[in-house]
Amino acid sequence: MKKLNLVKLLAVLLVFNCSSDDNSNNTESQKTRIAKIEQKIFDFNNNSLLEERIVIDYSDGKQILWSFYNNNDDLTFTEEWNYSSIGYLISIKSFLADGSPYSEEYIIYDDDNRISQTTYSDTDSFNKTISFKHNNDNTITANIDSNGANSSKVFELNSNGVIYKEIRNGNIIVSVDYNNLNPITKTTSFTTYSYEYLDNGSFPSTWSSIFGTNPANVVLFGNSLSDQSDSLTSELISKITSDSSSKEFIYSLDDNGYPISMQSFYDGNLRNEFKYTYE
d(CA 25, CA 279): 13
| Phi and psi at residue 228, to the nearest 5° | -105, -10
Banded pLDDT at 6 (limits 50, 70, 90):
very low
Quick one: pLDDT band at residue 19, thresholds 50, 70, 90? very low
**171-225: pLDDT as tens digits:** 999 999 999 999 999 999 999 999 999 999 998 877 777 998 899 999 999 999 9
Cα distances from 86 to residues 32, 163, 209, in angstroms, run 20, 24, 11
pTM given for the model: 0.89
Can you give the pLDDT at residue 207?
72
- Percent of all residues in the chain with a pLDDT value above 70, rounded to a whole number: 89
Helix, strand, coil percentages in the chain from 3-state DSSP, rounded to 5: 15, 55, 35
The larger pLDDT score, comparing residue 108 to residue 30, is at 108
Region of 211 on the Ramachandran plot (φ > 0 left; ψ -120 to 50 alpha; else beta): alpha
Cα–Cα distances in angstroms (integers) from residue 29 to residues 34, 87, 204, 255, 259, in the given order: 10, 17, 9, 15, 16
pLDDT of residue 203: 87
Question: Do the strands 50-59 and 101-109 form a parallel or antiparallel pair, or are they unpaired?
Answer: unpaired
Residues 43-65 have pLDDT tens digits of 988 888 999 999 999 998 889 99
| CA separation for the pair 135, 138 (Å, rounded) | 6
Q: Which pLDDT score, from 0 to 100, does residue 36 have?
A: 94
List Cβ neighbours of 118 (8 Å cut-off, separation of 6 or more). 105, 106, 107, 108, 128, 129, 130, 220, 221, 223
Please write the tens of the pLDDT for every residue from 89-137: 999 999 999 999 999 999 999 999 999 999 999 999 999 999 999 999 9
Q: Which burial class, exposed, middle or buried, applies to 182 when counting CB atoms under 10 A from its CB (0-12, 13-18, 19+)?
A: middle
The pLDDT tens digits for 202-217 are 988 777 779 988 999 9
